[in-house]
Structure 1
Amino acid sequence: MISQWYPPEPVHIPENVARGLVERGHRVRVVTGFPNYPTGRLYPGYRQRWRDTTVIGGVPVRRVPGYPSHDRNGLRRAASYLAYAATSAVAAVDHLRGADVLYVYLTPATVFAAPALLRALHGTPAVVHVQDIWPEAVTGSAMVPGGPAGRIVSGTLHAAMRAIYRLASSIAVITPAMRDVVVSRGADPSRVHVVLNWADEQLFRPVAATPSARARIGRRDRCTIMYAGTMGPFQNIEDAVRAAAAARDDVDLVLVGSGLGEAAARELSGRIGADNVRFVGRRQMSEMAELYAAADYQLVTLRDLPVFRGVIPSKLPAALSCGSPVLVAAPGDSAALVEDHAAGLACPPGDWRSLAGCFRRAAALSSAERAGMGRRALDCYRSLMSQRAGLDRLAGLLVAAAR
């Protein structure tokens, strides 16, 4: 396995895949970095060094040094990606020697350096699990300059992605829309498979609402909508604040988490008098299922950018796995999934007035209607997005590639 991120970082898919494959009788080895996501600072208790291998859950995990960074500065972020690409490629030649097949958690796309080297040296096949669409994941952010330099970066990344799609034995993508994009960019349709991401099921599961969880989010006796997760430049938190202010007679909005966009959201909330918006900061992941249960709805919101039309944010499977009804203001497959299974309500992204209307419609539903949405949310998760279903498909792709 090649993955720049691995627990104790809050990225559960790679570890779930590793442990799930071991439980199915396979032998797994991992090359990853030293934990620094999402802060960009090395976790306490870790010191970067070249030879660092520990066994976690029966899986040998080799950590390689890098350049920790996760801020808006494009050069520092690029240095972080490229440093892992270089050190993982060197380590993989030794640590992954003799591997039958590679599982590649493809975010960022630069992690494919090691699989490319092992393919060139030994013909080792690779199954890539695409988590976001490059180059848009980079060029759609502030990390890439405009003008000729930006066009050069975009062209280079497009060429790199075409090469990755060509070299991969199989490509797993996380949404139907992402499959269409990958195929349109040259991937063989017969090698592209939709495998929806699942939630961390040890943390996100249906639980009963407790008085302590209600107190932690400041629950009042009226409709409570919760946003839980990163408040960054893409999450459009300011639109959620504006919508909540417009629907202040009907709903409370609780924001759990932090990020680069939190300060602007707090300033906006104070400036427009959104006294029904509460910021409760980051909470432990172990608390989240109870907090979800204490709210009436979970909010999924993203900016209306092409890069997000093939993305299902991780907070959506987390909410569905808890049996929480969902309000979606995001482009692409997220809204379709919720609407098709009557697991919540959706509205166009990037329109806070429409979102305010969605808040009002949600508040007007009866407790029985909300409970029905919650049951359908959990049914949707179990049938389409569960860890067991995803692991079965990925294991099949890996075995086929190895053969």
Structure 2
Amino acid sequence: MMKRIVSNALFNTSNGLFATRRRGKRHVVVLSQFYRPEPHKFPPGVAAAVAEAGHRVSVVTGYPNRPGGKLYSGYRQRFRFSEVIDGIVVHRVPLVVNHSRKALERVANFLTFSMSALSVTPAVLDADVVYAYATPATAAIPAQIWHKLFGIPYVLHVQDLWPESVTDSGMLGTGPVNRVAAAMLRFWLDRLYGNAAGLIAISPGMQRLLVERGYREDRCAVVYNWAAEHAITVKSGDSFSNNGLRLLYAGNLGRMQDLETVISAARRFDENTDFQLDIAGGGLLEDDLRAAAAGSSNTRFLGKLSLEDVGKRYLEADFQLVTLKDIPIFRTTVPSKLQSSLAAGVPVITTVQGDVADLITQYDAGIVAEPENAESLAQAFKTALNMSPTQRARMGANAQRLYAEKMSHASSTSKIVAMLDGVASRSAPRKTLEANASYAPTSHHDSGVKA
């Protein structure tokens, strides 16, 4: 269970004292727009790993509202609110709650968090290093300012490569506004990335792009994302279908996932009673996709499922689908559903080119098809349909080996902790205002949220 401690304590600037940075036990600030109880596993995973390494951790985040775009029950937005979750102090700051596709509303959501986070500055002045979860990239603005004003080094965890994640999303259209935004973002990103003491890329392709754009290779490391391992049960090798094919797609039903192509390819098997496609999740295109699959005898929509329920579906699937549209930036992307499938020992059928296709091919952990090509994807389905249970089980074992060797929680978080420790060690000693002791939680209650 997550323990919450609630406070409305105000800053007491009279307690501010000058102090040199400590050696040994460090203060690491985790800066992220998202945190528990929201279902974002990476910032909490890093915070827990840093704490387990013996360092002090504090979190600066917004009020929980994702994925539904509504403030969670039990929370009321206000400044200077702190709680303790799993032994870690979490400072929350207000933001415009919104998950719209409208550009201005999304920008307001991003920037209000960035500006509000600066109100926590007195609580982070003694930080040795800031870990900034740069999704969205604007969430790292406070780290940029703290570095400029107080010399606190920061490490960026780059999940989505900007400006492409903005300009290629369609959020700003394709005209002059998009081009102006791209130019402005590049100007700012050059400084955000360039001044970072470390960059964490989620794939080799992303690392190459960052280096090609002029950022120092010795400061840029590849750390693959990991799965929600607590919700995953490994599929038994003898549980693959003897007859037919059971496919699962579990994830966002959005514009970038190319699910129109998936449904079109599955339509070619309508007369095959041994073919089953299950689609789990929700998103902007759910209604359109349901309409496209109307009348199909082999496609089912399961709606939104919990992590635990998705884990159960993995045990029934022969392959998981990992698909994206054919956009260059996606060649450096590793969708999170890939890690979940691999960890469960379920091979994949993927249309994601670049790093994902290379990994799947290298480990023989699935089948690669061309993106936005229903004929190619249908051929991949046919290949999978004709495979024996033994062949599928071998691919499943390869998938699990790939995850264990490159993507496990323990492996990835240990790399991040080592990077943060290295950055803090290399940074020159500095004089800072001691973090305000009065910015602290004071009372307890149990959130009832599962860790």
Range of TM-score over shorter length: over 0.9
Out of 264, 268, 271, the residue aligned to residue 246 of structure 1 is: 268
Match of 2:409 in 1: 387
Which residue of 257, 269, 284 corresponds with 2:281?
257
Aligned in 2, Cα 1:370/1:208: closer, same or farther, shift over 3 Å?
closer
- CA separation in 2, counterparts of 1:363 and 1:262? 26
Return the offset for 1:221. 6.1
**Which one has a larger percent helix, Structure 1 or Structure 2?**
1
2:89 alignment partner in structure 1: 60
Say yes or no: does 1:4 pair with 2:33: yes
Q: One-letter code of the match for 2:158?
A: V
Does the 8 A contact of 1:251 with 1:360 survive in 2? no
Q: Does 1:46 align with 2:68?
A: no
**What displacement does 1:206 show?**
1.0
For 2:258, the aligned partner's letter is N
Aligned equivalents of 2:34, 2:156: Cα separation in 1: 15
Residue 180, structure 1, aligned to residue 208, structure 2: yes
Letter in 2 for 1:262: E
2:355 corresponds to 1:333: yes
Structure 2: how far apart are the matches of 1:115 and 1:102?
7
Task: Tell me which residue corresponds to 1:120.
Answer: 148
8 Å Cα contact 2:233-2:315 kept in structure 1:
no
Q: Structure 1 residue 33 and structure 2 residue 69: aligned? A: no
Q: Is the 8 A contact 2:281 2:305 kept in 1?
A: yes
Instruction: Check whether the contact 1:90–1:114 (CA below 8 A) recurs between aligned residues.
Output: no
In the alignment, is the contact (CA less than 8 A) between 1:224 and 1:251 conserved in 2?
yes
1:375-397 Cα shifts (integer Å, max 9, x gaps): 11101100111111111111111
SS of structure 2 residue aligned to 1:45: coil
| Aligned AA (2:251) | G
Distance 1:146 1:323 in 2: 41
Deviation at 1:259, TM superposition (A): 0.6
- Structure 1, gaps ≥5 residues long: none
- Cα distance in structure 2, aligned partners of 1:33 and 1:379: 37
SS at match of 2:155: strand
Shift in Å at residue 150 of structure 1? 1.5
Partner Cα distance (1:26, 1:208) in 2: 39
Q: Secondary structure at the match of 2:200?
A: strand
The Cα shift of 1:187 comes to 0.6
Tell me by how many angstroms 1:29 deviates.
0.4
Partner of residue 202 from structure 1, selected from 230, 252, 273: 230
Structure 2 residue aligned with 1:16: 45
Number of corresponding residues: 394
Structure 1 segments, 4+ long, off by >6 Å, are none
TM-fit CA distance, 1:117: 1.3
What do the CA deviations read for 1:95-152 (whole angstroms, capped 9, x no partner)? 2120000001111010121101111221000111100110110111121133222211
Any idea what the Cα deviations from partners look like across 1:59-115, whole Å, max 9, x if unmatched?
Answer: 101111101111211110111001111011222x12212000000111101012110
Question: How far does the alpha carbon of each residue in 1:277-316 deviate from its partner, in whole angstroms, 9 at most, with x for none?
Answer: 1001011112221111111110000011122111100000
Is the Cα–Cα contact under 8 Å of residues 89 and 113 in structure 1 kept in the other structure? no
TM-score, with structure 1 as normaliser = 0.94
Question: Residue in 1 aligned with 2:300?
Answer: 278
Deviates more, 1:320-329 or 1:331-340: 331-340
Q: 1:345: Cα distance to partner? A: 0.5
Q: Choose from 163, 166, 170 the match for 1:138.
A: 166
CA contact (8 A) 2:322 2:348 kept: yes
Give the C-alpha shift of residue 222 in structure 1: 2.6
Aligned CA distance change for structure 1 residues 34 and 282 (closer, same or farther; 3 Å): same
SS of 1:67's equivalent? coil
Label 1:130 to 1:268 Cα distance change in 2 as closer, same or farther (>3 A).
same
* Equivalent pair of 1:31/1:95 in contact (CA under 8 Å): no
Contact kept in structure 2, 1:227 and 1:298, CA below 8 Å:
yes
Taking CA–CA contacts closer than 8 Å with sequence separation of 6 or more, which of the two structures ends up with the larger relative contact order?
Answer: 2
Question: What 5-or-longer segments of structure 2 have no aligned partner?
Answer: 1-29, 426-451
The 8 Å contact of residues 74 and 142 in structure 1, kept in 2 or not, is answered as no
Distance 2:125 2:353 in 1: 42
Give the Cα separation in 2 of the matches to 1:220 and 1:159.
56
1:242 positional shift: 0.5
In the TM superposition, residue 207 of structure 1 has moved relative to its aligned partner by 4.9
CA distance in 1, matches of 2:177, 2:220: 32
Matched, 1:71 2:100: yes
Q: Which residue of 2 aligns with 1:109?
A: 137
Q: 1:207, 1:289 within 8 Å by CA — same for their partners in 2?
A: no
| Residues 275, 298 of structure 2: 8 Å contact kept | yes
- CA RMSD in angstroms comes to 1.8
